[in-house]
Chain A
């Protein structure tokens, strides 16, 4: 952007600040101002035109600074644009692409408008590729696909961020461009995300767009739009992009603040009437396209597990499913605390193989049965052999699904382990022993190319889950079990 005097001479219009209400400024003059146009103040701050009144122009400030009444304002005759380019990878910056990491300016960028209409149906295509998250319970029961919009919802401190970082780690290692958008959170959280990227060595495929809670509400409001614009740039390069929006309930809160200050009529829970449109037009820009894909994982915070909140239900209706992080499961020690019964995926199953679909169905129905058996056992009744087997297998499944933060497991390794569990090769063993065996299989799969090829071929050759289970019963050597059953 040029400076104030340039626009003053170029455009030949001027305005004066008449009233300042926190982040909303009312400006007189500027007769040709357009909605969403960028305006610049004499002191260098920029704002965006929110609306046009009879005498005054309503401007949303994008910087948190002390403005005075009487400050001169000019139009720039431009809509808000964001610099985009390959050199953004590995960096952290604010929505206007000002670096917030080590301060070096980012060069070699072209500009792209921040607020665009979502693509129509012509440029899109059906989801066709699965998105591996590296989290066992999600990959097997609630699978995701590239181009899907999946809401991650749960109470505070239930492990949502940990899960997102695991997904980012898995995808970045596979070459997907990962964009983590932090919306109005603490500075230490932004730093932690950045350090995670550095420690895991995935910086070259990742970037962070972040605003802290001390930034101007206008800038916080723009954060996810800026991140989406950058995602669209990489999509247009033919790449697959993973976009994490953390979190959209905070975004809604800041938009509510701006709308109430701008004297918009409050609706339900004092949110403005266009809150759905504001967030939907953003989420709709993600999807699977002919050029590339943008997989969007918006995050929503629930309160005491209540999924019926206004923003939460809005987001659930805009997305292709949701992964629910249950506070009760978290308190029981489950990690990740994903509740498979209350989670939904609308697009993930159609990209799975028949084997994966079969496995998913079997796991889901088994988990339902397991829950019933657990309740049955609460009454202290004597358990028959069938019940005991179910409880035993369920317990082992709980251990199997338990996954520490920072650890990712390839999906084929998960399928193999699930097959091994079903085949009964680890029946009756010690829990610690079982954990160790799982670790061995995973380590072998990740480090031994020959072993990996063998497992991949075995899985590819099986059309149904029962085929895999039977193969493993016949020859369990691949699971590191010497004895043939």
Chain B
């Protein structure tokens, strides 16, 4: 690989656009914006791109793009390579028993990055049936760390004891 190509790849991966991404949802939104910008590159006699930057994409995306433009990169190549970079990211699905705040998402992302590296995107879902804990799916591997599973396991092992407790409770309730 040539030095220039290597530099380009590093430039893309270090780009603010990529660094900003945490979740799958964010990446899909960014991909939509990139598609919009790509389509606008040759519209309105070359003015379409500027128009799109001003009014059709989010402000932080506009700033990141302008930063890259100031470095003199070929915009079409750059946007395509950002798309390819995002496509190479792996998805980490996490089902939680609560709806996370942005701070929680950031913490989870940092933890995940420490384990699996930079190239991951979180796909978070809310499932109150888990009671507590989480379910993690990554590259086809499934791990259930929820309290629901723990309760189920406990119930299976001590089924008779728990049922007899319920019966005693019912009887005392009637009395």
Residues of chain A at the chain B interface (Cβ within 8 Å): 8-9, 12-15, 28-31
Contact = CB atoms under 8 A, between A and B. Distances in A.
B148 to A, nearest CB: 11
Given A9-B144, A13-B142, A31-B139, 14 more contacts: A8-B142, A8-B144, A12-B143, A13-B140, A13-B141, A14-B141, A15-B140, A28-B140, A29-B137, A29-B139, A29-B140, A30-B140, A31-B140, A31-B141
Interface in B127-145: 137, 139-144
Interface string B97-134: 00000000000000000000000000000000000000
Contacts of A14: 137, 140-142
Interface of B: 137, 139-144, 149
Nearest to A75: B140
B141 to A, nearest CB: 6
Nearest to A9: B144
Contacts of B149: 9
Contacts of B139: 29, 31
User: Which secondary structure dominates where chain B touches chain A?
Assistant: strand
Contacts of A8: 142, 144
Contacts of A9: 144, 149
Contacts of B141: 12-14, 31
A30 B139 CA distance: 8
A15 B140 CA distance: 6
Nearest to A30: B140
A136 B43 CA distance: 84
A10 to B, nearest CB: 11
Nearest to A15: B140
Contacts of B144: 8-9
Contacts of B137: 14, 29
Contacts of B142: 8, 12-14
A14 to B, nearest CB: 4
A29 B137 CA distance: 9
Nearest to B153: A9
Contacts of A28: 140
A31 B137 CA distance: 12
23 contacts: A8-B142, A8-B144, A9-B144, A9-B149, A12-B141, A12-B142, A12-B143, A13-B140, A13-B141, A13-B142, A14-B137, A14-B140, A14-B141, A14-B142, A15-B140, A28-B140, A29-B137, A29-B139, A29-B140, A30-B140, A31-B139, A31-B140, A31-B141
A29 B140 CA distance: 4
Contacts of B140: 13-15, 28-31
Contacts of A30: 140
Nearest to A27: B140
A29 B123 CA distance: 15
Contacts of B143: 12
A31 B140 CA distance: 6
B127 to A, nearest CB: 13
A29 B149 CA distance: 22
A12 B141 CA distance: 6
A27 to B, nearest CB: 9
Contacts of A15: 140
Nearest to B140: A29
- Give the 6 A-B residue pairs with the shortest CB-CB distance, closest first: A29-B140, A14-B142, A31-B140, A13-B140, A30-B140, A12-B142
A9 B146 CA distance: 12
Q: Which interface residue of B140, B143, B149 has the most chain A CB atoms within 10 A?
A: B140
Q: Which interface residue of A15, A29, A30 has the most chain B CB atoms within 10 A?
A: A29
A438 to B, nearest CB: 71
B147 to A, nearest CB: 15
Contacts of A29: 137, 139-140
A8 B137 CA distance: 11
A68 B73 CA distance: 43
A360 to B, nearest CB: 63
A356 to B, nearest CB: 63
A8 B152 CA distance: 14
